[in-house]
Structure 1
């Protein structure tokens, strides 16, 4: 089974690893068969499953329900689960909500923010709960950003993001996730820290890649994000199946053909 130790070895060896969002048992089984390394039960379920226009309405109970669904069918992937909007602003709430997701089957708790999370990261680490800290474009802060925009452009913003990453890693974060940041900045961050870094819209030099499952299957409503590739209709998916799309994604990330130049931001 994939563990944090596995991912650290991947980073040391230069082996790229995969992550996909998943919300139910059937897709978890298919991802297992494709040997997807890590699974994220993302609060993206608010948009792709529940039909909301953002992740903000998702509750802790929603996340625990879907985490349990995935965990029951997962055999080999490391499971990450999102703490949803406003569920970890108060330390005692964050601890209780993390416990709920871990007991549902998560192996790592994902939270969004920067150095303001340091106390929480340390507290959870000391309690045996690893964290993945999500920086860059953090969807739970979409109203602060004024929309879904690339983050970390310019020296000041880039330096702040790098400082935030170093702070949360020092506090005990086990993983970093960077979303929609310039590829050069993502490369700098990846090289600057000892923990594995997962990217989405962050270029090819992060240690791992994540996509929303529905996006990589071509089920995108409206504008297709630049960092998305449709693996279902890709001609290399000779099975023309969802299982084939998962396997092709795994292969493409591992060999370094995804993401390509067209998927990155500068």
Structure 2
């Protein structure tokens, strides 16, 4: 999207006001070029700690650092004009105390220019959410499957089935009461996500939840099909770019090995008389 002085960036208040209205469109972004593409169509661009797995090859999000989130946040900021930019707080950067959370959230906001941060946890993080919100740090919460707690949860399993539904309900309600402006519901049963959406006052953003949520979020690389073998049930792939990219690289490799590239149209001849080298195409 080209620079436009009339473009108004969305704010956390704008997102909160969309409760029960046109669904919010959210995707992750980790780079400037992707941020520009996301900005043209989405309401929220999340610089997710999923960057550790998607771009850095980590086996989980637990190894993601504040420095990594700051680096990618700065890149995404350069590509946005309209979408609300939210940056994930990585594991270990906010759980110790509300004061620790504020210091690190303030750092991320100052260094990246993001308008809000996201942290995982419901009832146990309510005091921290309230502490941040009271000090000018808008918070998007995240309940249900919380990837940073994968070791405690025993894997990436659906949360909130059977009697566990009450826990997820309490978690979602606690984040709203504490002052979060929105909450991500990840990998929870459809009926539970629908009920939470109806009962809490802030927008719910579903991922593996329900179409009844106030919005949806996915990892952009999953939407684009960048990973040929990763196909979780809750993801709809709108392209198969991974296969196309692999085919293109293979074709390039064949051309190089068979000396078909570069061709005559890709190389430079001697400069015409009277023109110094480097001046001629």
Q: Which of residues 210, 226, 229 in structure 1 aligns to 2:233? A: 226
| Matching residue of 1:58 | 64
Q: Which of residues 114, 117, 122 in structure 2 aligns to 1:114? A: 122
| Matching residue of 1:157 | 164
Deviations, residues 10-51 of structure 1 (Å, cap 9, x unaligned): 224x21111100001111111122x21100000000100000
- The number of residue pairs the alignment matches comes to 231
* Comparing 188-197 and 222-231, the one that deviates more: 222-231
Deviations, residues 69-106 of structure 1 (Å, cap 9, x unaligned): 11122100001111111111222221111011111121
In 2, distance between residues paired with 1:134 and 1:54? 17
Secondary structure in structure 2 of the residue aligned to 1:176: strand
Deviations, residues 228-255 of structure 1 (Å, cap 9, x unaligned): 1111259xxxxxxxxxxxxxxxxxxxxx
Q: Which of residues 213, 224, 231 in structure 2 aligns to 1:217? A: 224
Does the 8 Å contact 2:45/2:85 carry over to 1? yes
Deviations, residues 123-163 of structure 1 (Å, cap 9, x unaligned): 10111111111001110011111111100000x21111111
Q: Which of residues 88, 91, 107 in structure 1 aligns to 2:94? A: 88
The offset of 1:61, in angstroms, is 0.9
Secondary structure in structure 2 of the residue aligned to 1:20: strand
Does the 8 Å contact 2:188/2:208 carry over to 1? yes
In 2, distance between residues paired with 1:84 and 1:220? 23
Secondary structure in structure 2 of the residue aligned to 1:88: coil
Counterpart mapping for 1:189-200 below 5 A: 189-200=196-207
| Matching residue of 2:18 | 10
The offset of 1:107, in angstroms, is 1.1
| Matching residue of 1:260 | none
Q: Which of residues 156, 167, 182 in structure 2 aligns to 1:175? A: 182
The offset of 1:221, in angstroms, is 5.2
Q: Which of residues 74, 77, 100 in structure 2 aligns to 1:68? A: 74
In 2, distance between residues paired with 1:52 and 1:63? 14
TM-score by length of 2: 0.79
In 1, distance between residues paired with 2:224 and 2:87? 21
| Matching residue of 1:208 | 215
| Matching residue of 2:136 | 128
Pick closer, same or farther for the CA change 1:114–1:9 going to 2, 3 Å: closer
Secondary structure in structure 2 of the residue aligned to 1:99: helix
| Matching residue of 1:250 | none
In 2, distance between residues paired with 1:221 and 1:79? 28
Secondary structure in structure 2 of the residue aligned to 1:190: helix
Secondary structure in structure 2 of the residue aligned to 1:117: helix
Does the 8 Å contact 2:32/2:79 carry over to 1? yes
Does the 8 Å contact 2:39/2:45 carry over to 1? no
The offset of 1:222, in angstroms, is 3.1
Greater RCO between the two (CA within 8 Å, min separation 6)?
A: 1
Structure label with greater radius of gyration: 2
| Matching residue of 2:156 | 148
In 1, distance between residues paired with 2:56 and 2:240? 25
RMSD between aligned residues: 1.4
The offset of 1:8, in angstroms, is 3.0
